Amino acid sequence: MASPRRTSLLQRATCSILCLGALLPLGVSAQPVVRQQFRAHQLTGESIAEVVCSDSSSRFATVTSDGSAKVWSANGTLLHRYVPERVAMLFNGRFLGPDDKGFVVAAYNGYASLWSSPTAAPRTVGPSLSGTTDVQPIPDRQRLVTSSDDGFIRVWSADGRLITRIAQPGVTRHLAYSPSLQLVAATQDIGTVTLLSPDGVVQGRIETGQGRLNDVVFAPNQPLLLAGGFDGTLKLWRLADGGRTATLLHTIPAPEDAGWLEGVAINVAGMIATVYDDGVLRLWTQQGTAVAHLPLANHLHLFSVCFAPDQRTLRTIAQDGTVSVVVLP
């Protein structure tokens, strides 16, 4: 069902894009359009929400603190709803494998729950000693990596056996995986990114100096890592030598009064999308030039953003569970 705020938000976003158009650098012709907004989850007050794009299809998923994960078709039709047997707030989730048939979620109660198909019974992995903050499948290695409030990065076999765990300072909060680099990135709230092999061997560590990191992603076709969070900045790192060397390429400054950077995504063209506490989706070139500025969430926090495989469709999710679909030209 469409959000009651749909019209005003669409109008506001369009206005913002047009107003910004005069400020865009020559040669940059991004004119993103807000295509759809709908309330995927009825969230109130303090909440947690992530939107997850499939790597291989137009499906996407929403995972929230209401304890459910939902898989949606490209046009916003609900396809599946996943609720773990042990009910708990969910922190994040991922599609399992390239066919999108399975899904896995990370939960506040310390478990990851994994469905091999929408009709299969869930299998639990864990528990951690505290909340499981993220879960990252390694499909080509039949592994699963989890992170936790207890500070551990854990590597699990496909059948749920713990292979190894690596203690880290503070909370380990977010995970990302690059199949091409064969690297897992794990953020710590102390402001570090730990780079590991899929077997859990630490390859390198980046001291970002950004404080708590709310998101980390690899570029799909370049050896680039992007991370941001507490201080609102976004840093782009070039990785080399199997993750043992990281060179800072750019720092995109914190937009004024935007609050925390909550989510980041990058497509194959190097277009970067960021979302913040102020409810604004911002687009940047890889060199850090601002391209677009779209208020989407009426000053509610935007928590997460992802690119669909077409590299043009962006999806965001707000604090109240509203999904926005934004299309680049």
One of 1, 22, 23, 167 touching other proteins (CB under 8 A): 167
- The alpha helices in 82-167, defined as continuous H runs, are none
Q: How far apart are CA 156 and CA 209, in angstroms?
A: 30
Q: How far is CA 127 from CA 142, 185, 278, in A?
A: 19, 21, 35
Closer to other proteins by Cβ: residue 50 or 231: 231
- By CB under 8 A, is residue 127 in contact with other proteins? yes
Residue that has been written with the tokens 């992530």 in this structure = 50
Closer to other proteins by Cβ: residue 13 or 49: 49
Q: How far is the CB of 35 from other proteins (least distance, A)?
A: 31
Query: Who contacts 21 (Cβ-Cβ below 8 Å, separation ≥6)?
Result: 31
Closer to other proteins by Cβ: residue 34 or 153: 153
- By CB under 8 A, is residue 279 in contact with other proteins? no
Name residues contacting other proteins, limited to 198-217 (CB under 8 A): 210-212
Closer to other proteins by Cβ: residue 38 or 108: 108
Q: How far is the CB of 53 from other proteins (least distance, A)?
A: 27
- By CB under 8 A, is residue 151 in contact with other proteins? yes
How many residues line the site for other proteins (CB under 8 A)?
27
Q: How far apart are CA 274 and CA 44, in angstroms?
A: 23
- By CB under 8 A, is residue 168 in contact with other proteins? yes
- By CB under 8 A, is residue 171 in contact with other proteins? yes
- By CB under 8 A, is residue 36 in contact with other proteins? no
Q: How far is the CB of 166 from other proteins (least distance, A)?
A: 10
Name residues contacting other proteins, limited to 282-301 (CB under 8 A): none
Q: What φ, ψ does residue 13 adopt, rounded to 5°?
A: -65, -45
Q: Residue 8: in which H helix or E strand, if any?
A: helix 6-21
Closer to other proteins by Cβ: residue 97 or 259: 259
- By CB under 8 A, is residue 228 in contact with other proteins? no
From the list 103, 101, 108, the residue with the least C-alpha distance to 126 is 108
From the list 273, 232, 223, the residue with the least C-alpha distance to 256 is 232
238 bridge partner residues:
224, 247
Closer to other proteins by Cβ: residue 5 or 154: 154
Name residues contacting other proteins, limited to 179-198 (CB under 8 A): 188-191
Per-position DSSP letters for 257-311, written without gaps between them: T--SEEEEEE-TT--EEEEETTSEEEEE-TT--EEEEEE-STTSPEEEEEE-TTS
Binding site for other proteins (CB under 8 A): 45-46, 110, 127-131, 148-152, 167-171, 188-191, 210-212, 230-231
